[in-house]
């Protein structure tokens, strides 16, 4: 099995994305403009922040056909109060003015809510509602992309 650093794995994925963007007319496959916009460095950092090395290995194997082990430190993120995956860059703290980070897995916006049944207008539902959506649409969610708390 080949080994690749986390940084090199992310750079390889970005390089392949850039090649695809230049060589393939993605509008044939995706109807939304957001799919064909240029990838910006900030978006790339955010897309891979806290993502497990195992998930990156799967992407590299899909791209290259080689089984690889991605090695390197994963950024330690805060757990989402809804799905419990470590996806949040900051936790809600009204004293420090932090929080309101949106989980890229379940889309819950962290507003400090702990009670799963409390309706939150900012999220247009409760944690229980979001968890039900995850169960109903499980194919839309990658369970091995982030680390569980």
Domain residue ranges in the chain: 2-71, 77-142
- Read off the pLDDT of each residue in 32-55 and give the average, rounded to a whole number: 68
> In the predicted model, is pLDDT for residue 75 greater than 70?
yes
The 10 Å CB-count burial string (b at 16+, else e) for 25-51 is eeeeeeeeeeeeeeeeeeeeeeebebb
> Which own/partner contact pairs does 41-46 have at CB distance under 8 Å and 24+ positions apart?
44/10, 44/14
For residue range 109-121, list pLDDT tens digits in order: 999 988 999 999 9
What global pTM score does this model have? 0.75
């Amino acid at each position: 099995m080949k080994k690749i650093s986390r940084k090199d794995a992310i750079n390889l994925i970005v390089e392949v994305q850039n090649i695809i963007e230049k060589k393939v007319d993605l509008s044939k496959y995706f109807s939304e403009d957001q799919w064909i916009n240029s990838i910006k460095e900030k978006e790339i950092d955010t897309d891979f922040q806290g993502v497990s090395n195992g998930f990156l290995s799967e992407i590299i194997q899909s791209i290259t056909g080689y089984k690889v082990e991605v090695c390197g430190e994963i950024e330690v993120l805060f757990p989402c109060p809804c799905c419990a995956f470590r996806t949040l860059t900051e936790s809600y703290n009204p004293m420090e003015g932090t929080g309101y980070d949106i989980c890229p897995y379940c889309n819950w916006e962290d507003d400090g809510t702990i009670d799963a049944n409390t309706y939150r207008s900012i999220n247009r539902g409760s944690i229980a509602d979001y968890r039900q959506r995850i169960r109903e649409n499980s194919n839309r969610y990658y369970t091995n992309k982030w680390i569980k708390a």
